[in-house]
């Protein structure tokens, strides 16, 4: 095998730096979709989220990926709105209480991920009011 020159190494690093955020974003969407199925199929801390059919009367016992598309879309849009709300609040906080000139002086992927985690928590609290097919019951 030939040795790697500095130009080839630099090109490989540039390719990795370009494709890593794209692939990470797509896999994050896939992970959110797959984790939603897991959440519907288990009992967590004495509570279980039930998914009902379109008419709202039949309980879907074994939730599949095809059943989750509409629910996931509403949940995902709720997370987007909550992250956007956190961004607006953080921008207001930045201008009022700090010496930063803008949000992009301190904002990075770690803050975005923390906003996403907090929004995911609050979205489960709001999901039963947003989506009529979802109910929280004790198990």
Q: What is the dihedral of CA 21, 25, 26, 28, to 10 degrees?
A: 130
**98: exposed, middle or buried (Cβ count in 10 Å: 0-12, 13-18, 19+):** exposed
Predicted confidence (pLDDT) per residue in 86-132, tens digit: 999 988 888 888 888 777 788 888 888 899 889 988 888 888 887 88
Q: Report the alpha-carbon distance of residue 28 to residue 32 in Å, rounded.
A: 6
The domain segmentation of the chain, as residue ranges, is 8-138
Whole-model pTM: value is: 0.72
| CA 26 – CA 133 distance, rounded (Å) | 27
């Amino acid at each position: 095998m030939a040795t790697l020159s500095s130009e080839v190494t630099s090109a490989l690093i540039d390719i990795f730096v370009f494709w890593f955020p794209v692939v990470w974003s797509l896999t994050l969407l896939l992970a959110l979709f797959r984790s939603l199925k897991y959440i519907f199929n288990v009992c967590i801390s004495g509570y279980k989220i039930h998914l009902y059919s379109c008419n709202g009367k039949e309980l879907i016992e074994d939730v599949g990926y095809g059943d989750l598309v509409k629910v996931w879309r509403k949940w995902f849009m709720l997370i987007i709105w909550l992250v956007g709300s956190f961004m607006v609040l953080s921008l207001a906080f930045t201008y009022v209480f700090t010496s930063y000139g803008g949000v992009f002086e301190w904002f990075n992927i770690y803050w975005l991920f923390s906003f996403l985690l907090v929004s995911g928590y609050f979205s489960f609290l709001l999901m039963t009011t947003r989506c009529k097919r979802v109910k929280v019951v004790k198990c």
